[in-house]
Chains A and B, each alone.
Chain A
Amino acid sequence: MSAIPAALATATALAATGALAGLGLPYRLRVAVVGVLTAGVGVAGGTAGVAALGGSRWRAVYSGLVPLAGAHVAVDALAGLFMAVAGAVLAAVAVYGIGYATGHGAHGLGSRTAQAVLPVFALSLVLVPVAAAVSTFLLLWELMALTSLFLVLAEHRGGHLPLGRSRERGSPSVRQAGTWYAVMTHLGLVLLLAGFALFAAQAGGETFATLRAGAHGIPPTVRGLVFVLVALAFTSKAGAVPLHAWLPRAHPEAPSPVSALMSAAMVNLGIYGLVRTGLDLLGGGPAWWWLGLLAMGGASAVYGILQAAMASDLKRLLAYSTSENMGLVLTGVGASGLFAAHGDKPLAALALAAALLHVVNHAAFKALLFCAAGSVLRATGLRDLDRLGGLRARMPVTAALFALAALGAVALPPGNGFISEWLLLQSLVHGLAVPGVAVAVVLPLSVALIALSTGIAAAVFVKALGVGFFARPRDERAAAAREAPPLMLAGMTLLAAGVVALALVPGLLGHGLDRAVGAVGLPGSGALTWGGLGVRLTDISARLEPLWVVAALTAAIVLATGLPRLYGRRRRRVNARLWDCGGGAPTPRMTYTATSFAEPLQRVFDDVLAPEQDVDVTPVRESAYLVERVRFQHRVPDRIEHRLYEPVLRALASTGRAARRLAGGSVHLYLGYGFAGLVVLLLALVVGW
């Protein structure tokens, strides 16, 4: 008897207790109790995941739980990986959430509904990978979507404001985000339902085992259709372009711990679904499936990070960066499928391992980034980078943790993101040996896109850190910021420990990752050896020892900063006034803002981003040459949203208006419709039979 069922039962019990506690307890107790129970859900789920990564498996059927079909559950290493990630993120973020929701009144995240829903959302994050039948999976999937929708809407009555400030009236952007999220996630559900229904009908059963067994008997066109439907739904959940529109709206508007959970745990499940269905249940497929995924991944990576570069809202920036990272993961999954389709199993395993490792890395640093952004938001009430600044002195711990996570996100050594992107690039570069024209074109292109997105990511996080935390505050609210309470810092420190561990000793994950890759039928340990601290690729002569990289970098930094000091001490030092062009002292308004930092990049990518600019000059009444007021407006709209969604929405709206004319309000007309309908039906029956 393995530890998995016990851990999962504990998680379920804790979540149920947490939901009841959230409903029943008074505000003062509620936040702490629910937080602890949610952390418990995370720990229990994570334990189950780690046990699965360690090699144990579990399957069961609870016939009474779900009507007709019964609940089928199974845990293998692939599910375990995603459970472990979700569990770890949950445990840390729940601790952070206690600090976040305490002392801010019983609204927003501290409200009764939000606190009752939070443990259920946590449980659904852990349980989605456990499902082993279509009905069970879809139920849990929908539970996750609904609970997260509740949580996104938690602050619909005005955002989080610093202590002592009156609450503004309702925030329309939260409601708008909620609408977008609700519609898109349910469109995704419809696609999933259609895809899985088709799959199950063709395979002759709805449990994953039957699907797996029956997949090869299905005609290729139907298989392709199933894959397209399911892949669209899952990539939308992962926030990949072009179905990402909900993500940059919902993630910034949700309370920050929820943003962290969504960005670090929920979007991952889109990847899980894709790997599970595409590589495992369908058992791989022809090259065009994976080329499509590669294209989507490349587009998401570059487009996501470009939009992040333009964003001046800190949380929106992070949300777009999630889109980018999921794009990188999709590239890995796509490459893996492509290599598998060409029969190169070891390379496919390497690409999938890189993608899964990037999921883990992204979860660690993105949760930390969102938590740090949340503590900035809580301390200042601001998300706008153009108004922040000077937080390094006022919130030193938060600033340091944000910097650490940003290092992971820029994918440069010694950050943790570097290791997975290095693996991904290795697999893509060596994939050129695989024959085929499409491969020869797409793989170098993917490598270039990854390189481009990595470069822009560096600019993005320099901007977020430099403009947001350094220099001088540009708003009195930023100037009055104070460090976050200890519980929030504790939660963030847990995440930071994860980031550091992943950056220094990724080898600890090695065997688990091998088993996860092995779970979809690829040779797990064939491509990678995790000798102690480093990563070595056996087929390809390449190795990476992150610990040495870190040691070398540290030594170089110490030398570069220490030597000039030693040498410079002999010179006389004069303190001079900051050069201000001879005018008055520079004001904070003169400092570099996020918008000005992004301006050169925006010029370079002018054709892609199509920014909108509006200059409005009002002259004084006496003369047209004397200017009284200049209004300058600048916006970088999400162009894909602009071009793709707005026509659809307009068409829908006009159809709705046209349909309204049919319902004129006259009872006679409605009776006429009924009669006409009946006649048409009868005629059809007569003719048809």
Chain B
Amino acid sequence: MGLLRKIRTTGRVAEPAPPRPEGQVQPSARQLGGSVQVRCVDAGSCNGCEIEIAAAFNPVYDAERYGARQVASPRHADVALVTGPVTRNMAAPLRRTVAAMGEPRLVVAVGDCAINCGEFAGGYGVEGAVADVVPVDLAVPGCPPEPEAIVAALRRVTGR
């Protein structure tokens, strides 16, 4: 009963959908037909980006209404959402993760660290940016990027 009451009293918390982000839908993403399975890979982030990704999929920003959905294995995924500078220990697993995904596949680099090593550039354990390890299709700048930005990037993949 408590659950039902909660549902009734809470109502709808999702923000009104912002307009479709400008920019072309990724050409390789067109085959996905608006339904995109997302696998997150933490390649060495400070966890700030993870919190924002979690926010992007929560009921307020609700990335799922645009057709993006998180999955638990790269075997099920179309998109790898990679955060953080790639540390030495995560370089090989990242390569293997991307290789394990079916075609067509996309890699989205989330956060400044993923784009150019950000705060951690030159660190002894850092192998490089995500683009140095796997080919990157889309980048979401910010330290950390706002959930809206992450949702907007995903909408450019789903096209919705």
A576 x B100 contact (CB < 8 A): yes
B97: chain A residues within 8 A (beta carbon): 582
CA distance A576 to B75 in the complex (A): 10
Most buried by B among A576, A582, A583: A582
A579: chain B residues within 8 A (beta carbon): 73-75, 100
A612 CB–B CB distance under 8 Å: no
CA distance A582 to B42 in the complex (A): 12
B99 x A576 contact (CB < 8 A): yes
B94: chain A residues within 8 A (beta carbon): 582
A622: chain B residues within 8 A (beta carbon): none
B93 CB–A CB distance under 8 Å: yes
A582: chain B residues within 8 A (beta carbon): 92-94, 96-97
B92: chain A residues within 8 A (beta carbon): 582
B74: chain A residues within 8 A (beta carbon): 579
Shortest distance in angstroms between B31's beta carbon and chain A's nearest beta carbon?
A: 14
Interface residue ranges of B83-113 to A (CB < 8 Å):
92-94, 96-97, 99-100, 103
CA distance A579 to B92 in the complex (A): 13
A168 CB–B CB distance under 8 Å: no
A583: chain B residues within 8 A (beta carbon): 93
A577 CB–B CB distance under 8 Å: yes
Most buried by A among B73, B75, B96, B99: B96
CA distance A263 to B149 in the complex (A): 70
Interface residue ranges of A569-622 to B (CB < 8 Å):
574, 576-577, 579-583
Contact of A577 among B73, B93, B100, B103 (CB under 8 A): B100
Shortest distance in angstroms between A380's beta carbon and chain B's nearest beta carbon?
A: 34
A580 x B99 contact (CB < 8 A): no
Shortest distance in angstroms between A478's beta carbon and chain B's nearest beta carbon?
A: 29
CA distance A71 to B92 in the complex (A): 81
B96: chain A residues within 8 A (beta carbon): 577, 580, 582
B73: chain A residues within 8 A (beta carbon): 579
Shortest distance in angstroms between A614's beta carbon and chain B's nearest beta carbon?
A: 33
CA distance A582 to B92 in the complex (A): 7
B99: chain A residues within 8 A (beta carbon): 576-577
Shortest distance in angstroms between A404's beta carbon and chain B's nearest beta carbon?
A: 34
Question: What are the interface flags for B44-69 relative to A under an 8 Å C-beta threshold, 1 for contact and 0 otherwise?
Answer: 00000000000000000000000000
Total A-B Cβ pairs within 8 A? 18
CA distance A93 to B94 in the complex (A): 56
Most buried by A among B75, B94, B99, B100: B100
Shortest distance in angstroms between A503's beta carbon and chain B's nearest beta carbon?
A: 39
CA distance A580 to B93 in the complex (A): 9
Shortest distance in angstroms between B98's beta carbon and chain A's nearest beta carbon?
A: 10
Shortest distance in angstroms between A572's beta carbon and chain B's nearest beta carbon?
A: 9
A580: chain B residues within 8 A (beta carbon): 96
CA distance A581 to B74 in the complex (A): 9
Considering the complex, give the chain B residue whose CB is closest to the CB of A584. Answer: B92
CA distance A579 to B94 in the complex (A): 12
B103: chain A residues within 8 A (beta carbon): 574
CA distance A577 to B95 in the complex (A): 12
Considering the complex, give the chain B residue whose CB is closest to the CB of A583. Answer: B93
Considering the complex, give the chain B residue whose CB is closest to the CB of A580. Answer: B96
CA distance A577 to B99 in the complex (A): 8
Shortest distance in angstroms between A568's beta carbon and chain B's nearest beta carbon?
A: 15
A577: chain B residues within 8 A (beta carbon): 96, 99-100
Considering the complex, give the chain B residue whose CB is closest to the CB of A578. Answer: B100
Interface residue ranges of B120-159 to A (CB < 8 Å):
none
CA distance A579 to B74 in the complex (A): 9
CA distance A535 to B92 in the complex (A): 62
Shortest distance in angstroms between A585's beta carbon and chain B's nearest beta carbon?
A: 10
Shortest distance in angstroms between A451's beta carbon and chain B's nearest beta carbon?
A: 35
CA distance A23 to B96 in the complex (A): 66
B75: chain A residues within 8 A (beta carbon): 579
Considering the complex, give the chain A residue whose CB is closest to the CB of B73. Answer: A579
CA distance A582 to B99 in the complex (A): 10
Shortest distance in angstroms between B79's beta carbon and chain A's nearest beta carbon?
A: 17
Considering the complex, give the chain A residue whose CB is closest to the CB of B98. Answer: A582
CA distance A577 to B96 in the complex (A): 9
Considering the complex, give the chain A residue whose CB is closest to the CB of B97. Answer: A582
A581: chain B residues within 8 A (beta carbon): 93
A576: chain B residues within 8 A (beta carbon): 99-100
Shortest distance in angstroms between B77's beta carbon and chain A's nearest beta carbon?
A: 11
B100: chain A residues within 8 A (beta carbon): 576-577, 579
CA distance A583 to B97 in the complex (A): 10
Shortest distance in angstroms between A523's beta carbon and chain B's nearest beta carbon?
A: 62
Shortest distance in angstroms between A586's beta carbon and chain B's nearest beta carbon?
A: 13
Shortest distance in angstroms between A671's beta carbon and chain B's nearest beta carbon?
A: 85
A574: chain B residues within 8 A (beta carbon): 103
Considering the complex, give the chain A residue whose CB is closest to the CB of B74. Answer: A579
CA distance A574 to B75 in the complex (A): 13
Interface residue ranges of A294-349 to B (CB < 8 Å):
none
CA distance A582 to B96 in the complex (A): 6
Shortest distance in angstroms between B132's beta carbon and chain A's nearest beta carbon?
A: 18
CA distance A577 to B75 in the complex (A): 11
Considering the complex, give the chain A residue whose CB is closest to the CB of B100. Answer: A579
Shortest distance in angstroms between B94's beta carbon and chain A's nearest beta carbon?
A: 7
Considering the complex, give the chain A residue whose CB is closest to the CB of B94. Answer: A582
Shortest distance in angstroms between A575's beta carbon and chain B's nearest beta carbon?
A: 12
CA distance A580 to B99 in the complex (A): 12
CA distance A386 to B93 in the complex (A): 30
Shortest distance in angstroms between B120's beta carbon and chain A's nearest beta carbon?
A: 20
Shortest distance in angstroms between A78's beta carbon and chain B's nearest beta carbon?
A: 60
Considering the complex, give the chain B residue whose CB is closest to the CB of A581. Answer: B93
CA distance A579 to B73 in the complex (A): 9
Shortest distance in angstroms between A576's beta carbon and chain B's nearest beta carbon?
A: 6
Question: What are the interface flags for A394-412 relative to B under an 8 Å C-beta threshold, 1 for contact and 0 otherwise?
Answer: 0000000000000000000
Shortest distance in angstroms between B9's beta carbon and chain A's nearest beta carbon?
A: 39
Shortest distance in angstroms between A563's beta carbon and chain B's nearest beta carbon?
A: 23
Shortest distance in angstroms between A253's beta carbon and chain B's nearest beta carbon?
A: 45
CA distance A579 to B100 in the complex (A): 7
CA distance A576 to B73 in the complex (A): 14
CA distance A189 to B93 in the complex (A): 67
CA distance A576 to B99 in the complex (A): 8
Considering the complex, give the chain B residue whose CB is closest to the CB of A572. Answer: B103
CA distance A390 to B34 in the complex (A): 43
Shortest distance in angstroms between B91's beta carbon and chain A's nearest beta carbon?
A: 10
Considering the complex, give the chain A residue whose CB is closest to the CB of B95. Answer: A582
Shortest distance in angstroms between B97's beta carbon and chain A's nearest beta carbon?
A: 5
CA distance A578 to B149 in the complex (A): 34
Shortest distance in angstroms between B58's beta carbon and chain A's nearest beta carbon?
A: 26
Shortest distance in angstroms between B76's beta carbon and chain A's nearest beta carbon?
A: 10
CA distance A577 to B92 in the complex (A): 14
CA distance A582 to B75 in the complex (A): 12
Interface residue ranges of A426-442 to B (CB < 8 Å):
none
Shortest distance in angstroms between A579's beta carbon and chain B's nearest beta carbon?
A: 5
CA distance A583 to B99 in the complex (A): 13
CA distance A565 to B124 in the complex (A): 51
CA distance A582 to B87 in the complex (A): 14
**Chain A residues close to B by CB (< 8 Å):** 574, 576-577, 579-583
Closest 10 CB pairs of A and B: A582-B93, A582-B96, A579-B100, A582-B97, A579-B75, A576-B100, A583-B93, A579-B73, A577-B99, A579-B74
18 sampled A-B residue pairs with Cβ under 8 A: A574-B103, A576-B99, A576-B100, A577-B96, A577-B99, A577-B100, A579-B73, A579-B74, A579-B75, A579-B100, A580-B96, A581-B93, A582-B92, A582-B93, A582-B94, A582-B96, A582-B97, A583-B93
Given contact pairs A576-B100, A577-B96, A582-B97, enumerate 15 new A-B contacts (beta carbons under 8 Å).
Answer: A574-B103, A576-B99, A577-B99, A577-B100, A579-B73, A579-B74, A579-B75, A579-B100, A580-B96, A581-B93, A582-B92, A582-B93, A582-B94, A582-B96, A583-B93
